[in-house]
Structure formats: structure tokens, C-alpha cells
Amino acid sequence: MPGVIDRMELDVVVCDEAAVRIMKGHEAVRLIKNWRVAKTSRLRNVFVLCSAMGLPEIADFVSSLNRQHRLRGLFVRQDADPAWLPQLLERANLRTVRNMLVHGDYSIPMRVLSAWEHGGQDELIANATVADDKLLLISCALERFEVRFDALPALKKIPEGERGSFVVSEDGSYIHWPGPDIHLDLDAIKSVVNPEWRLHVSATRLSRNRRYAEAIAQIRRERGLRQGDIPDLSERQVRRIESGGPITAAALRSLAAAHKLSLDDYLSTVAEASSAPSRR
């Protein structure tokens, strides 16, 4: 996955007049309008904005960037019949460009560029759609995800006829279904697609929240466990965790096992205890 980068390291190549007008005055990125004389070896973290009809003209330039692993995203404005897009890509010999995003207006590319500028490309949503019984998403890092509506409790609550009636927030932080008033962020989707991700997110949140640390200690004491009773964790490690120190996914597994709970049940118990009023 792309990491967090300095906002001034983004090179945005614009070869579509509509993109030039929108990007004008955007000071956080370096605009490259004369791409024909640009040396790809000097560019880093490149985003190319063009129209579908303009693909053949810029194909060689994009292919060169792609081979050098410098192309972060190819944004193609749909200015032709969508049915012709495969033919236009074939004509431009760009069928293997992985980080391509087709859009109808420049709100989506601007959302992606803003996410990269602030280092949030892996956490924010670029776009989404519904296909049959699945929700399909593209992150601002241009990774693809799909999840069935029956795979997540929040998604199950959405009536079938309202599944496509959602909006992506302006900054990409969540999807909102106004009817049932359901908000969903990318972490929730990743947790379904990759169960390890939920563990990663839980560990990160626990490490940042003093209330969670206190809840871990409270639950241990209620179960009659001492800090030295946690398998694979030393007493010092447990003491550090309960003082608000960092916690790993492996440590969470050990804590759940010591409490004779499944990982899901343990995380739910900790979350519930951390949200209860303080006993002090």
C-alpha cells in the first residue's frame, strides 16, 4: 500500500482542458501541463487526468510511468459512450493499468488528491456502487473492495430498494444511507473483507484510548486474573497495556484466551466496559 507522503511530492499531469480549469490555483500539488516534454524519471507519485477520447494521445506517457511504478492514479473523464470505453482502452493499449478510475466529473479525483495530500488515502473512500447484492468500493489509494449486504449488520438493515440510495461524504470518510440513517466507513468494510484488519484497527484504537486500557484492567480483575496470568504476555507487558501503552493483535488474542472468550466477544466486552460510566 502507498504510505503517507509529503503533500508537495504529488505531481498531477493534466491533459484535459476541463481538468486544467478545475486544478488551476490548486497550490498543494505540482501541475504538469506540458507532459510531452516531461521526463518520467523525474516525477514521483504521479496522477494523470485525461478524457476517454484523449487516452490514445497520452498512452505512451502513461505506460512509461506505469512501468516505472510512478503512476499512482489514472483518472479518465467519461466523455464518450461508456460502451466504447473498452475499445478506447484497447486502442490506447492501456488494458493493464491497474490504478485507473473512470469518473463523470472531477469531484472524485479531487477527493482522491486531497486524501493523498493529507496522508489519508488508505482510510478514505473514493467512490462506491451497488451490484446485485454487493457493495463495491474504491479507496482513495485506488484499492477495490466488495462486500455482500448480508455480511455486515449495518448493511443488513438497509432495505433492498434503498441499497443504491447513498452518498459518499465530500472528504470520503464515510458512506451515508439517509433513509435508514446508516453511516459506514472504510474500516468497517475492510474488517469484513479481511478479518485481520479488524484486529489491527481494534489494537490501534485500544492503544490510543485510556478508557480502553482501564477497561482491560477492570475485566481482568473481575475475572479473578492477575497480571501474570496472561499466557504469552509477561506481567510487565500487561502492566504497560493497562497503563495505556501500545497493544498488538497478538496481545489481544492472548488476553481473549486468558479470559476464555472468543476474540470477538472479548473485544465487545472491552468496548462495552470502556463506554460505561466511570466507577470512580
Beta strands in 42-92, from DSSP E residues, in sequence order: 46-51, 71-77
CATH number for the domain harbouring residue 230? 1.10.260.40
Question: Domain for residue 280, yes or no?
Answer: no
Domain limits for position 211? 195-275
Tell me: do 15 and 97 sit in the same domain. yes
Structural Rg of the chain based on CA atoms: 23
Query: Which runs of consecutive H residues, i.e. helices, occur in 118-178?
Result: 153-156
Tell me: do 78 and 162 sit in the same domain. no
pLDDT by residue (tens digit) across 206-243? Answer: 655 678 888 999 999 999 999 999 999 999 999 988 98
pLDDT by residue (tens digit) across 130-165? Answer: 998 999 999 999 999 999 999 888 899 999 999 999
Of 114, 139, 143, the closest CA to residue 10 belongs to: 114
Tell me: do 91 and 133 sit in the same domain. no
Q: What is the H or E stretch that residue 212 is in? A: helix 210-222
Q: In one letter, which amino acid is 97?
A: V
Instruction: Locate 158 and state its grid cell.
Output: 438497509
Q: What is the H or E stretch that residue 138 is in? A: strand 134-139
Question: Domain for residue 183, yes or no?
Answer: yes
Per-residue confidence (pLDDT) for residue 26, from 0 to 100: 57
Q: What proportion of the chain, given as a percentage, has pLDDT over 70?
A: 89
Tell me: do 137 and 236 sit in the same domain. no
DSSP tag of 213? H
Domain total of the chain: 3
Tell me: do 130 and 56 sit in the same domain. no
Question: Domain for residue 52, yes or no?
Answer: yes
